Amino acid sequence: MLKLPIYLDNNATTPLDPRVLEAMMPYLTEVFGNAASRNHPFGWAAEEAVDYAREQIAGLINCDPKEIIFTSGATESDNLAIKGVFEMYAQKGNHIITTTTEHKAVLDTCKHIEKMGGKVTYLPVNSEGLISLEELKAAMTPETILVAIMYGNNETGTIQPIREIAAIAHQHGALFMTDGTQAVGKIPVDVLADGIDLMAFTAHKMYGPKGIGALYVRRKNPRVKVTAQMDGGGHERGMRSGTLNVPGIVGLGKACELAKQEMAADAARLSTLRDRLEKELLGLEESYVNGSVEHRLPHVANISFKYVEGEGLMMGVKDLAVSSGSACTSASLEPSYVLKALGLSDDLAHSSLRFGLSRFTTDEQIDYAIGHVKEAVTKLREMSPLWEMFKEGIDLDKIEWAEH
């Protein structure tokens, strides 16, 4: 029997893999030591576990274990990377380049940088959500210290041309930082081959626990440093103070080890499922994929259904846990800024659904989701005066709508 509702919001968070929980359990109970305690076996056991986790993580992203700085999650890692570079490299310049479709953890940090006197360029994206490399080159100045562009987008799954971006940043003497939250553990991410200097990522998007993340900080060619954003005991090579979250770190390590082993098979299976879901839903008239179909994370689909209102649609797909491009918190609707940046009109942005599949998503769940969404969209369109007008060939843009 299919259990409802079906969880298809894995870009928000993933369930904990039972194997990860199993690895963590001893560190939540008998192995409780502080990894910074150097004087007794309790501390040594904790430190050993942390060191092992560093190796598991390094193995997934192809770095040195010493280059992993543990944080509370991707938001903290984004903050530490951007603010830390801004402070550390203040002598060199004060300009940062990012994009309009970054996660708020990057965008709002950049806003903060601007308040602190920094300059930030927000590159636009095309209809697929991709930046223009030419525009990036043109935006580079001698003052540019950092290019911060995400690996894969959380709403659309669009993957930026990371290697090309890194090369441009380096040619101009800037560092390249990427928010790898949605990509790490889902697609091969190799910080060496990709030319990444700093990368934020988190455990709970790859079947690990919440509250633990990491920042990769390159140690060689070039040696990158960030100014700590919290004062304290000088943990993590002085870049992030605070007692290490040992069970969380063990969980992140195990999640990375599993990802390394299973990522290829997961990605192949999930992209097949995703493509089936997408093909079926695109069978509905006037439905559109948001983002790049070609350069995309394997487990993500973002689809707009024209002439259906977003909140009504969410109510209609109550058997699915999905996200909508409509953040309706009050009478005033706020369509997703990411979809707006792709050039979507407000109404098309509102009527979008984001599907995020996971290692635990089954064929049966996708079959159900297909039928459920089709039914809801069809029913709402039968109820929609806009759909009727569209069917009659009336141009909705030419109608003078009552002023609100």
Partner 1 sequence: MAYSDKVIDHYSNPRNVGTLDKSKKSVGTGLVGAPECGDVMRLQIEVDEATNTITDAKFKTFGCGSAIASSSLATEWLKGKTVDEALAIDNMEIVEELALPPVKIHCSVLAEDAIKSAINDYRVKNGLPELETAKSHH
**Interface residue list for partner 1 (CB under 8 A):** 307-312, 315, 326, 328, 330-331, 333, 345-347, 350, 382-388, 396, 401-402, 404
Residue pointed to by tokens 């709402």: 380
User: From the CB of 367, what's the least distance to partner 1, in Å?
Assistant: 23
- C-alpha distance from residue 111 to each of 105, 107, 119 (Å): 10, 6, 9
Q: Based on CB atoms, which residue is closest to partner 1, 176 or 307?
A: 307
DSSP 104-123: HHHHHHHHHHHHTT-EEEEE
User: From the CB of 397, what's the least distance to partner 1, in Å?
Assistant: 9
Beta strand residue intervals within 130-172, DSSP E: 144-148
Give dist(CA 114, CA 27) in Å, integer.
41
State residue 383 phi and psi, 5-degree precision: -95, -10
User: From the CB of 283, what's the least distance to partner 1, in Å?
Assistant: 22
Q: With beta carbons less than 8 A apart as the criterion, state whether 261 and 26 touch.
A: no
State residue 246 phi and psi, 5-degree precision: -60, -50
Q: Based on CB atoms, which residue is closest to partner 1, 251 or 316?
A: 316
- C-alpha distance from residue 306 to each of 343, 384, 386, 390, 394 (Å): 15, 11, 9, 10, 15
Beta strand residue intervals within 103-221, DSSP E: 119-123, 144-148, 175-179, 198-202, 213-217
Q: Based on CB atoms, which residue is closest to partner 1, 3 or 401?
A: 401
Query: Which of the residues are catalytic?
Result: 328
What's CA 381's distance to the chain center, in Å? Answer: 32
User: From the CB of 127, what's the least distance to partner 1, in Å?
Assistant: 20
User: From the CB of 383, what's the least distance to partner 1, in Å?
Assistant: 5
Q: Based on CB atoms, which residue is closest to partner 1, 5 or 233?
A: 5
Q: Based on CB atoms, which residue is closest to partner 1, 152 or 325?
A: 325
